[in-house]
Amino acid sequence: MTLPIRNVAIIAHVDHGKTTLVDALLKQSGIFREGEDVPDCVMDSNALERERGITILAKNTAVHYGETLINIVDTPGHADFGGEVERVLGMVDGCILIVDANEGPMPQTRFVLKKALEKGLRPIVVVNKIDRPQADPHGATDKVLDLFLELGADDDQCDFPYLFASGISGYAKEKLEDEAKDMQPLFEAILRHVPAPVGDADKQLQLQVTTLDYSEYLGRIVIGKIHNGIIRMGQQAGLVKENGEVVKAKITKLMGFEGLKRIEITEASAGNIVAVSGFADANIGETITDPNEPQALPLIKVDEPTLQMTFWVNDSPFAGQEGKLVTSRQVRDRLLRELETNVALRVEETDSPDKFLVSGRGELHLGILIETMRREGFEFQVSQPQVIYREVNGQPCEPYELLVLDIPEDAVGSCIERLGQRKGEMQDMQVGSNGRTQLEFVIPARGLIGFRGEFMRMTRGEGIMNHSFLDYRPITGDIEARNKGVLISFEEGVSTFYAMKNAEDRGVFFIVPGTKVYRGMIVGEHNRPQDLELNVCKTKQLTNHRAAGGDELVQLQAPVDMSLERALEYIGPDELVEVTPQSIRLRKLAKKLAKR
């Protein structure tokens, strides 16, 4: 007898507490043995996820509640990783929408909820973080209903069940006045409101591949939900490829999920989520089925990329000094390998064997790929991100974003003025009681490139900025780009304190004394709109006379720390970011440098 099953996805805006709530469900289900050291955000297994505190890859786990097996899929909250959300929603029959009791629905809430409603799912709404000061749980619930209506939800979806919770404290409750105990009300809500999977174990096998993994021992592992039929260890099966070709293979390993682990099983039937090895060429969206009577499921449709940048082989004077993987063949192979698991990514080869056009869903999506490759030992360069234009009904169009800012009151005027210059149109403004204001804009994606650094300066680091893809609209006029030039080193060497101190009134530096520089490397931002080449390696001419006051302590202004994200947003069309395992450098294209 098979256990009753519930398959549920957890969706939310980034930082609204998805992963923490999953932690609470896992702890209550008893999957951790007594005394076991359990880290926070156990589902964020990737090093980058832990560092940034965000979910990048969709992952699934399974817990037992009474006699029911509940498969839980934790999805990313950031719209840049929407490809992950779209492909896993086909595995589940219900979803839990988590909303911050203080912030209410945010741009990515709209994005992930829209995808769930399009799939016909009826979400359970969980108003999280109700124990925080300034929380307004009922206000957040009303805003969620407004969002459901705005997104065209049907009557059944609008009549959503909702609970109040605190993931970090480990409790959920149906009414605010109820006593806070544990997560049992949420488990009960899942059993009541998430339908059991629809599937017939007596039909031909149909399993859709939604996630890919890799093991050194088993090779490629495919994860997906069995829509119909029964899958057995060791059986012969067929993989229906995207082009309709059927590839036969033997199922060498069949695994189910138990907590955070995969356990070997001998068979599984319709409704289960399983991991299978034996299909070396499987790709996302393809169907594992009966080889004699193959029946493919519809391929998974993922929104197209909106941003692209060029990856170059590193040709700077310091090329090959810090990275192990530097050739065009190594970069090309790595990018093509990324395509196997990253469904929202596109890679095109160009006329030059040293350049590759890489398209993704946003700066964060591409930035995570760059950071991952950098940590693997790759060394390469990337160009300024560019939006992807499309033709809609014969008219050239560009992507637009919905932008929400949460800022201190004294920064409102400067933010509105700057976004107006970037072709942003204000849709809504709400003044809070805590000295903060929430602004909502519709803005071309072009207008957001390079805005984050300015935004942090205007709000003195206190602003919160969120945006998500809205739609394609006719192209607007030119958008004012960066209004300041850069400081460029015109010789190779080591930067000195003396030279930098003398040039300090020209702008702000991105480097510190003792940094190795080369001709064409960008070392700072000029105070004026034009670029300026200068010598940051000049040394002081020493004499045998001691100058009066020569021993006084002189200090340089603190340099601007150019992280990868900041560098990608900062560079102009004639500039590149040089990425190595140890350094992030900005440089001018060689042909743009003045002849000397």
DSSP for 18-36, written as a single string: HHHHHHHHHHHHT-SPTT-
The answer to whether 478 is a known ligand-binding residue is: no
- 40: three-class secondary structure by DSSP: coil
Q: Residue 45 corresponds to which tokens in the numbers above?
A: 């297994």
| Radius of gyration over every alpha carbon of the chain, rounded to an integer in angstroms | 27
Please indicate if the annotation marks 56 as binding a ligand.
no
Which residue in 48, 437, 73, 434 sits closest to 225, CA to CA? 73
Say if residue 128 carries a ligand binding annotation. yes
Q: Tokens 């490759």 appear where?
A: 373
17 assigned to a ligand binding site: yes
287 is in an annotated binding site: no
- Residue identified by tokens 């919905």 is 402
- Provide the terminal-to-terminal Cα distance of the chain, rounded to the nearest Å: 81
Q: Is 115 annotated as a binding residue?
A: no
Q: Has 467 been labeled as part of a binding site?
A: no
> How far is Cα 286 from Cα 551, in angstroms, rounded to an integer?
72
CB distance 384 to 312 below 8 Å: no
- Least Cα distance to 539 among 567, 576, 498 occurs for 498
Check the annotation: does 19 bind a ligand.
Answer: yes
Is residue 357 packed enough to be buried (19+ CB in 10 Å), middle (13-18) or exposed (0-12)? middle
Residue 210 among known ligand-binding residues: no
- 8 Å CB contact between 117 and 151: yes
- HEC profile of 155-198: HHHHCCCEEEEECCCCEEECCCCCCCCCCHHHHHHHHHHCCCCC
Judging by beta carbons within 10 Å of its beta carbon (0-12, 13-18, 19+), is residue 377 exposed, middle or buried?
middle
The answer on whether 15 is annotated among ligand-binding residues is: yes
C-alpha to C-alpha distance for 400 and 381, rounded to whole angstroms: 27
CB-based contacts of 496, cutoff 8 Å, min separation 6:
513, 536, 537, 538, 539, 540
Question: Residue type at 226?
Answer: I
CA 486 → CA 283, 446, 475, 499, 567, distances in Å?
45, 21, 29, 17, 13
- Residue 165 phi/psi, 5° resolution? -150, 165
Please enumerate, by residue number, every residue annotated as part of a binding site for GTP: 15-20, 128-131
Please enumerate, by residue number, every residue annotated as part of a binding site: 15-20, 128-131
